[in-house]
Structure 1
Amino acid sequence: MSKILDKYNDIEEIKEMSIDQLNLFCQEIREFIVMKIFKTGGHLASNLGIVELTISLYNIFDFRKDKLIWDVGHQTYVHKILTGRASDFDTLRQYQGLSGFPKREESNFDIFETGHSSTSLSAALGIARARNLNGEVYDVIAVIGDGALTGGMAFEALNDIGGGTAKVIIILNDNQMSISENVGGISSYLYKIRLAPKYIKIKGGIKTTLKKFTLGKTLAKALKKLKSGIKEIMIPNMLFEDMGIKYMGPINGHDIKEMSKVFKMARDSEESVLIHVITTKGKGVEFAEKNPEKFHAIGPFDCKTGEMNSITATTYSEAFGEEAISLAKADKRLVAITAAMKYGTGLNKFSLEFKDRFFDVGIAEQHAVTMAAGMASNGLKPIFAVYSTFIQRAYDQILHDVCLQKLPVIFAIDRAGLVGEDGKTHQGIFDVSFLSHIPNLIIINPKNILELKNMLRWSFFQNEPIAIRYPKGSDDASIELPPIITIKKGKWQILSNEGNIVIFATGKMVQRAIQVRNKLLDIGINISIVNACFIKPIDEELINYFVNKEYDIITLEDNILHGGFGAMVLEYINSLDKNTKILTLGFNDSFIEQGNVDILYKLYELDVDGIIHNIIKFSHKVSLEGEKISKSDLL
């Protein structure tokens, strides 16, 4: 018998299916997701957990006109399958392939692009208010996870929704997880609600019984006034209803019949509603259910066992975590902070060894930064480990609460530069630009893992704010680089000094510069390489040296050029009033799409051959017409 998914063509078919057919459809979709993601990698556990919820939404609402907004957006695989993109899943997260997040240019069903958490409610309210002003009629539904609810922006939106007249339907997908297990007061609050389903049964039973009698209808209206009192007994502190948002739940997020009934009630209501849905992250696949954090975002894996391709090389994140532990053993002032990312940032071992000095604040980067500032102001030495794409969310707190007061907070900025398959919302190519103009902030970019460890140790003993940015993954084992003997603030390292062209490279791009040098050396061209390990302050003395020697200067970074490292060097050289040729290499003023990082570096001419090509075009000191070099040599 052929599968439902094989015959499926249009969202209207969902409304025609029986409950049994819908449940079978869910099973087929889970199998489909596993069979695709084990090849491409992607967000597995979150999508397995939301299958019935997504199906139920499509069973009740009409998304040809109704608007569905997904918080974070990595749990939209089922939504994409239902809206005609199943055939594209072999290209998931690949260059020019299907995005792992909502993408407006990809489908009319992707209403709003979301890659960061806690944004869906604000976007939904904005769409609902526009609907009202335009005189249109449709429902606006926002799906937000309990982890995303820890973000302050979500509560700003809840406050506005509860006090306004624009109806929004909120689906609270409660799976007790962000990427890591949820923490904090909101998690505890939702836990209490999950333990009190008898309130819903009591309320429903009273209503059903009273409506059978004429007197009962009058009593039902009177009892409505007592509702808040009943809730205070059964469910303490009814936060959502106190804010002015009708609460429904908790309901089983894997029971299509129950969800469809409640969603229909919400659709027919005239006021904003929050529906509390309980789901299991990784549902239906044993290894994902047992370890949802491990299977949150993964590379290719064995679809039968869940075993992933083993990675033996130490990653930057792991090295950071190891050095943080070493420092913490020696100094009790060190504390570590993360925003729901203890595994991703390499702090999981630290959290076990120093439980009282590890703080997971949930998805709340702004709070994390200002809390770190408070700790630093009272004698501690906090390290906040965070992905580059997420520290964007705490810009004001870095500027106002840390740097203005010159407090010794260390920002360990993981995933700086390209991250690849997660695409535009996650590429870490903006941090240099938005951090470099903040007074009192030192920015360091180590060239390899060993230098990361040494610079973290150096940073710990400074008494000012420091940002250390480092990439995803490991080093190229084939490239050996000498360590810096003594780290000095604002001082760079000369790795080679030959020829009359110099590359000032920062971070992991130093390894790329060495590859460029070696390839040019093979064809008789000598260039100098400098490890610009301090992005701020720059090494003005060393720049002066190369300027006075009349070198052509090239800067190389994995950040956007506008406001980046190269722009700082260019600005300084221009102030010298010298006739120095300078070329800045980095990413242009654009958002970088998804894809394998090697493909993306090549696309933006930041691979070895692309850099050499740009050097040849730029410098009059290298000629394609010379006897030692030809175009074929460069390819």
Structure 2
Amino acid sequence: MYLEKINSPADLAGLSVTELELLAAEIRELVIETVSVNGGHLGASLGTVELILALHRVFKVPEDRLLFDVGHQAYAHKILTGRREFFKTLRRHGGCAGFPAAWESEFDVGASGHAGTAISTAVGLSAAFGRSGSPHRAVAVVGDGALNCGMSLEGMINASRDGKNLIVVLNDNKMSIQENVGGMAHYLNCLISGSSYNKFKMTVKRLLKTLPRHEAIHRFIKRTEDLLKGIFLPGIVFEQLGFRYIGPINGHSLPDLLRTLERVRELEGPILVHVITEKGRGYEFARQEPARYHGVAGFDRATGRLKKSEGPTFSNAFGDAMVRLGEAHPEVAAISAAMVSGTGLNRFQQKFPGRCFDVGICEEHAVTFAGGLAAGGMRPVCAIYSTFLQRAFDSIYHDVVLPKQPVILALDRGGAVEDGPTHHGIYDLGFLRELPGLTVMAPRSERELELMLDFAYELKAPAAVRYPRGGSPADPAETVPPLELGRAEVVRAGGDGPVIWAMGPEVYTALEAARLLEVAGKGSCTVVNARFLAPFDGETARRLAASGRPVATVEDHRITGGLASALDEALADAPHGKVLHFGWPDRVIPHGCVGELKREFGLTAEAVAEKLGSL
């Protein structure tokens, strides 16, 4: 056993290549075992084990800064940086975070949960190193999917100026740039990364400057060099952006990785090292179906069978409703930002391939593209996880709301999720409610989601439908009344007890709290399903508050900006009794099981009933 002796990257120094390969196998075993129980991102992290071993062997981290874009691929990094045992608590409340996190370890940089950030951060680090005269390197490990993100391109454009200490490692696990072109590419790669070649190149440059017309001669040599690399190597586009391109190399060959990175460490940046890896390597089920094993809730190691949610889910209901909407209206189109499967659009894509657009990890483009489709007469439904829609705020305002384009935004994963602060969708209402003319809805059940999607289509104006991950506790036979713009639904008419407003599935939390209060003899509560967060039903809020009974809100959102704020605004100049709010507090919410988080922060029916009952 080698892994039990590795407590920091410094412990890799004395290991031979053979021993490192055995260590890689032990790391994979730990990753598979932990993710099978706890859930997590399996495929990408299995594919980067040798790469991360080589990076920690060659570079001096944390003095050299190692960044991951995104942290899906960083489990081996966590294991090698003193968190071997802690890693076994992956994604558990109070345990190891699912992504690199600066608050967890000095070896992590920033919060690595959203794509496209690593290159820009690394360019900033490189500029800081250059300004201080530091020899340390900023190394950004970027997946081929994240390279499509517009922010990655922005960072690369600026790297030519500020990237002297910058190395970008392109982890290409889908071969989306270009396939290896064989022995000549390997030979030229070894040549241009070698110290002899680069010393010779610098010597020739110095000699040329002593000759007449040296600039013309230098341009001719540069054009010849670029021509040869363009013929034999797939990286000419990176060279044009100012990077020295090296690759592609086998990301599972430790000898190749160590040799290349040791040479690269001595070169001046910016440098891009193109590494080919295989998602799911070491676990056949994940290797065969990398998309299914990208992010999992857990699985049976022997059979590969994934743990799945019981019963219907909002994402599935959305997908089914989209198919029906697409069948009824040929102008309906679906847009996803690299989350076709995650948002439930698989069936729509299969049935209407010409009307389903996966734009990659480009949320701003997705929303503005939707605005363009709408301007061209189509009816786009843009499905994006809440946490990622934050990136598209300006696009929503500038390209959808201002021109009043009938774009429907489907906000999946609205609310807290297991992955933690980089993925909690608890801030969306804070920026959506403030946009004039944008209708914002939150369904309490899968059936109500279907009605809201139809309502948004008929509205013919900008609209957003926000719903959480998983499903609701609603009875499938439950009657859902028709929607009226800006009108809430009183789902339980009480008498002398508090008035509880709720949105989304928290309506069922409120109903259970009302039941508990009545059983305890604390009065008969009124429960209101807000339905619309914008426009909010201020008329009903003022009418129910006029009796002076306590009023409360329950929401899977931060207390500021969401339902609580909407109610406060409605009651600001109206008579009312005591007001209490139940939502996520003004602090960073950690990762962990959502049920555990709700218990800790007092968002369960029992906690709501106890606090209201004490009034």
Is TM-score (shorter-chain normalized) higher than 0.5? yes
Q: Structure 1 residues 135, 207: CA separation in 2 closer, same or farther (over 3 Å shift)?
A: closer
Q: How far 1:549 moved relative to its partner? A: 3.4
Could you state the TM-score of these two structures normalised by the residue count of structure 1? 0.90
Tell me which residue corresponds to 1:583. Answer: 580
Residue in structure 1 matching 2:420, options 420, 423, 434: 423
Once superposed, what is the RMSD of the aligned Cα atoms?
2.2
CA–CA separation in structure 2 for the residues paired with 1:538 and 1:459 = 16
Tell me which residue corresponds to 1:562. Answer: 560
Tell me which residue corresponds to 1:66. Answer: 64
Q: Structure 1 residues 606, 481: CA separation in 2 closer, same or farther (over 3 Å shift)?
A: farther
Q: How far 1:51 moved relative to its partner? A: 0.4
Q: How far 1:478 moved relative to its partner? A: 6.4
Tell me which residue corresponds to 1:406. Answer: 404
Give the SS at the match of 1:268.
coil
- Tell me which amino acid in the other structure corresponds to 1:497: A
The range that moved more, 605-614 or 236-245, is: 236-245
- Tell me which amino acid in the other structure corresponds to 2:517: L
Give yes or no for contact 2:443–2:503 (8 Å, CA) kept in 1. yes
1:79 aligned onto 2:77: yes
CA–CA separation in structure 2 for the residues paired with 1:161 and 1:314 = 47
1:496 aligned onto 2:496: no
Q: How far 1:174 moved relative to its partner? A: 0.4
Q: How far 1:206 moved relative to its partner? A: 10
Tell me which residue corresponds to 2:262. Answer: 264
The range that moved more, 104-113 or 269-278, is: 104-113
Q: How far 1:479 moved relative to its partner? A: 9.2
Give yes or no for contact 2:122–2:138 (8 Å, CA) kept in 1. yes
CA–CA separation in structure 2 for the residues paired with 1:33 and 1:521 = 48
The range that moved more, 103-112 or 430-439, is: 103-112
Q: Structure 1 residues 235, 270: CA separation in 2 closer, same or farther (over 3 Å shift)?
A: closer
After superposition, the C-alpha distances for 1:97-116 in whole angstroms (9 at most, x for unaligned) are 01111111211111222110
1:599 aligned onto 2:596: yes
Percent of matched pairs sharing the same residue: 37
CA–CA separation in structure 2 for the residues paired with 1:310 and 1:162 = 46
After superposition, the C-alpha distances for 1:167-188 in whole angstroms (9 at most, x for unaligned) are 20000000128xxxxxxxxx4x
Tell me which residue corresponds to 2:511. Answer: 514
Give the SS at the match of 1:319.
helix
Tell me which residue corresponds to 1:445. Answer: 442
Give yes or no for contact 2:371–2:407 (8 Å, CA) kept in 1. yes
Alignment of 1:82-481 (within 5 A): 82-164=80-162, 166-176=164-174, 187=176, 190-191=177-178, 194-195=180-181, 198-202=184-188, 204=190, 226-235=224-233, 238-420=236-418, 422-476=419-473, 481=478
Give yes or no for contact 2:546–2:576 (8 Å, CA) kept in 1. no
Give the SS at the match of 1:36.
helix
Q: How far 1:236 moved relative to its partner? A: 6.8
Q: How far 1:196 moved relative to its partner? A: 6.2
After superposition, the C-alpha distances for 1:499-522 in whole angstroms (9 at most, x for unaligned) are 232111111110111111111222
After superposition, the C-alpha distances for 1:120-149 in whole angstroms (9 at most, x for unaligned) are 011111112222223322111111111001
- Tell me which amino acid in the other structure corresponds to 1:116: H
Q: How far 1:290 moved relative to its partner? A: 0.5
Give the SS at the match of 1:424.
coil
Q: How far 1:308 moved relative to its partner? A: 1.8
Give yes or no for contact 1:5–1:25 (8 Å, CA) kept in 2. yes
- Tell me which amino acid in the other structure corresponds to 1:425: T
Give the SS at the match of 2:37.
helix
The range that moved more, 427-436 or 495-504, is: 495-504
Give yes or no for contact 1:446–1:507 (8 Å, CA) kept in 2. yes
CA–CA separation in structure 2 for the residues paired with 1:111 and 1:473 = 31
CA–CA separation in structure 2 for the residues paired with 1:436 and 1:479 = 30
Give the count of matched residue pairs: 596
After superposition, the C-alpha distances for 1:271-295 in whole angstroms (9 at most, x for unaligned) are 2100000000101111000111111
Give yes or no for contact 1:92–1:100 (8 Å, CA) kept in 2. yes
Structure 1 moving runs of 4+ over 4 Å: 202-208, 217-225, 477-481
Q: Structure 1 residues 141, 296: CA separation in 2 closer, same or farther (over 3 Å shift)?
A: same
- Tell me which amino acid in the other structure corresponds to 1:428: G
Structure 1, unaligned stretches of length 5 or more?
178-186, 620-635
CA–CA separation in structure 1 for the residues paired with 2:243 and 2:465 = 43
Q: How far 1:596 moved relative to its partner? A: 1.0
Q: Structure 1 residues 230, 443: CA separation in 2 closer, same or farther (over 3 Å shift)?
A: same
Give yes or no for contact 1:573–1:580 (8 Å, CA) kept in 2. no
CA–CA separation in structure 2 for the residues paired with 1:553 and 1:339 = 39
CA–CA separation in structure 2 for the residues paired with 1:482 and 1:592 = 35
CA–CA separation in structure 2 for the residues paired with 1:206 and 1:512 = 63
CA–CA separation in structure 2 for the residues paired with 1:170 and 1:60 = 15
CA–CA separation in structure 2 for the residues paired with 1:7 and 1:480 = 58
CA–CA separation in structure 2 for the residues paired with 1:277 and 1:508 = 45
Give the SS at the match of 1:173.
strand
CA–CA separation in structure 2 for the residues paired with 1:207 and 1:502 = 70
Q: How far 1:13 moved relative to its partner? A: 2.6
Could you state the TM-score of these two structures normalised by the residue count of structure 2? 0.93
Give the SS at the match of 2:486.
coil
Q: How far 1:218 moved relative to its partner? A: 7.2
Tell me which residue corresponds to 1:623. Answer: none
Q: How far 1:540 moved relative to its partner? A: 2.3
1:47 aligned onto 2:33: no
Give yes or no for contact 2:185–2:233 (8 Å, CA) kept in 1. yes
Give the SS at the match of 1:194.
coil
Q: How far 1:55 moved relative to its partner? A: 0.6
Q: Structure 1 residues 522, 463: CA separation in 2 closer, same or farther (over 3 Å shift)?
A: same
- Tell me which amino acid in the other structure corresponds to 1:444: M
Tell me which residue corresponds to 1:183. Answer: none
Tell me which residue corresponds to 1:611. Answer: 608
The range that moved more, 391-400 or 32-41, is: 32-41
Q: How far 1:492 moved relative to its partner? A: 1.0
Q: How far 1:237 moved relative to its partner? A: 7.6
Q: Structure 1 residues 477, 565: CA separation in 2 closer, same or farther (over 3 Å shift)?
A: closer
Q: Structure 1 residues 344, 135: CA separation in 2 closer, same or farther (over 3 Å shift)?
A: same
Give yes or no for contact 1:128–1:166 (8 Å, CA) kept in 2. yes
After superposition, the C-alpha distances for 1:390-411 in whole angstroms (9 at most, x for unaligned) are 1011010001111011111101
CA–CA separation in structure 2 for the residues paired with 1:610 and 1:517 = 12
CA–CA separation in structure 2 for the residues paired with 1:236 and 1:289 = 25
Structure 2, unaligned stretches of length 5 or more?
209-217
